Structures are given as C-alpha cells and as structure tokens.
Amino acid sequence: MTLGRGRRAVSAAFVVACAAAVVLAVVPLVLVLGFVVGRGVQALNADFFTRLPQPVGEAGGGMANAILGTLTLATLAAAMAVPIGVGTGLYLSEHSGRPFASLVRFAADTLNGVPSIVIGVFAYAVAVLPFQRFSALAGGFALGVMMIPIVARTTEELLLLVPESLREGALALGATRGRAMLGVVLPAALPGVVTAVVLALARVAGETAPLLFTSFNNRFFATSLTEPTSSLTVQVFTYAISPYEDWHRQAWAGALVLIVMVFGCSLLARLTTRRLERMHRGG
C-alpha cells in the first residue's frame, strides 16, 4: 500500500495548503485593522468630533462637518433607496416565478456590480450638470442608487424566510394578497428589512468614488442640501494624499471612525439576522 501512503500524503498537504490560504486571507484584516486602530486612536480626540478642519499649516481641528455630512448623505440615500428597494423586494418575493421578476432581479444584480465610480459619473450627469452645482442631494442620489439593489435583494431573501403558513393563514381568513403581505408577512419580516437597510447603509457610507464629483467637499458645515457637502470618506482621501503630517494623522482618525461605523452596522445587522433565522426556523 505504498500508493495509498502517497495519496494520503498528497491529501494531507492539500488540507495544509488550504489552511494556509485561510491564514493568508485573514492576515490583511489583522494588518489593516491593527494600523487603523493603532494610528487612529493616537489622533482621535474630542476636537475631532466637534471642530471644523483648520487651515493648512495650523495644527488641530476636526472633522465635525464631514461626520455630519456623511450622516446627511446616508439619510438622503436611505430616503431614496428604502421605498424603491423594499418595494422591489416585496415584488420579487411575491412574484418570484414571473419573467419580469427574473428581469428585475437580473437588473438589481447588474446594478450591484456597476463600479461606484460609474455611478458617480451618472449622478454627475443627472444631478449636478443640470443645476451647475455640487450638492448633498446629488451625493445622496449617487449613494441611493448604490443602495437600492442591496436593500431589494436582502429584503427579498428575508421575506422568503417568513413561513408560508403565515401567509396562507391570512389568506384563509379572507385577506387579499396585498393585505396578507402588508398586514402579516411584512411585519414578520420587519426586523429583517431594517437589517437590510442598515447593512446597505454601512456599505454606502464607506463609499468615496461616487461622492468625489457629486457632493464634492466643503471646509465648513453645509447650510443647505443644495450646497457642496463634505463627507468622512472624501475628507480622508483629501488628507491622505496631502503632504501634511498633521492631516495624515487626521486621516487615520477618520478611517477609524469610518471603520467603527461600518463594523458596528454590520455586527448589528448580523445579530438581527441570526435572531430572525432562529425565530422562524424554530431552532
């Protein structure tokens, strides 16, 4: 059985190689997080959250305007993407077999794969050029477009988790399809839908490329939605490619805040999904 031993050795080597691949895949996470936390914490202080950026050459200052800007943009994006995304998700789960549903599903997946910079160019053409100004509205539109497919597909998946018996029960009691959906199935899936929105928000809040030429940047607080508006991501980018030591420190702090926001949302979403799955699968 020398052949057997050779085969077993090959197999063992393969398992070890796969384990090594996992280690290689996870190492960057440790490295990136290590640096962001290590350098970010050093630069983070109360000023960062409460002060405006200082002019070049003066130390200190913060990113209060950028944090507020990111929240504004995320809110605008959600206002656009939640109705369309949830509506699409409802449609897809209700008519999953129809050819039109397949087409919509395909369009949503396509939209999800469009590079964010292309969405930025589109938003520039639609929401900046006609008005001849960069604005929070244009930035929110760009992020909203990116959010729609994520909300739609996640909502669809979570609605499918709701047991068929709930819907059948409602229909048996004489409810119309729409009533059964809105009155029974959607409420049962609501925590899931909220999760989908949070997850999508986490993703778009970290986007930079679609904001570069839609919401642009602003050294001060934007006073209206039709003004250029700063965001954490664009501000981190501007600071990172600048030649100033102090701005680099602030960029790390910005990255840390960004990561905490994004991971916080992802974690929250994950916990809710788990609970939802356990609830409906009766685990």
Partner 1 sequence: MARRAPSVLFGGATTALASAVLVIVSAIAVVLTIDALPSIRRFGLEFWSGTVWDPVTQDFGALPFIWGTLYSSCLAIILAAPIALGSAVFIAEFAPPWLGQPLVFLIELLAAIPSIVYGLWGIFVLVPDIRRLELALPDALRQSPFFSGPPLGLGLLSAALLLAIMVIPFTASVAREVLRAVPLAQREAAYALGATPFEAVRAALHYARSGIAGAVMLGLGRALGETMAVAMVIGNTPKISLSIVQPQYTMAAVIANEFTEAAQPLYLSALVEIGLVLFAVTLVINALSRLLIWSMTR
Residue type, 164: E
End-to-end C-alpha distance for the chain, whole angstroms: 46
Smallest gap, in angstroms, from Cβ of residue 15 to partner 1?
A: 6
Using rule CB under 8 A, residue 279 touches partner 1: no
DSSP alpha helices (H): ranges in the chain?
A: 2-43, 46-50, 64-94, 99-113, 116-123, 136-161, 164-172, 177-180, 186-205, 232-240, 245-281
Using rule CB under 8 A, residue 44 touches partner 1: no
Interface mask (CB under 8 A) for partner 1, residues 110-139, using x and -? xx-xxxxxxxxxx-xxx-------------
Smallest gap, in angstroms, from Cβ of residue 78 to partner 1?
A: 15
Q: Please list every residue from 183 through 212 that binds partner 1, using CB under 8 A.
A: 202-203, 206-209, 212
Using rule CB under 8 A, residue 163 touches partner 1: no
Using rule CB under 8 A, residue 88 touches partner 1: yes
Which residues is 61 bridged to in the sheet?
A: 53
Residue 204 contacts residue 146 (beta carbons within 8 Å): yes
> Quick one: which of 160, 178, 244, 277 contacts partner 1 (CB under 8 A)?
178
Smallest gap, in angstroms, from Cβ of residue 234 to partner 1?
A: 8
Taking CB under 8 A as the binding criterion, the range among 43-51, 54-62, 219-227, 251-259 that sits at the site for partner 1 is 251-259
> Quick one: which of 158, 201, 258, 276 contacts partner 1 (CB under 8 A)?
258
Instruction: Give the nearer residue to partner 1 in terms of CB position, either 35 or 244.
Output: 35
Using rule CB under 8 A, residue 168 touches partner 1: no
Taking CB under 8 A as the binding criterion, the range among 63-71, 165-173, 231-239, 275-283 that sits at the site for partner 1 is 231-239
Alpha-carbon span 74 to 19, nearest angstrom: 39
CB atoms within 10 A of CB 6: 10
Instruction: Give the nearer residue to partner 1 in terms of CB position, either 37 or 52.
Output: 37
C-alpha to C-alpha distances, 188 to 14, 16, 82, 88, 170, nearest whole angstrom = 45, 44, 18, 18, 12
CA-based nearest residue to 126, from 140, 110, 112: 140
Using rule CB under 8 A, residue 173 touches partner 1: no
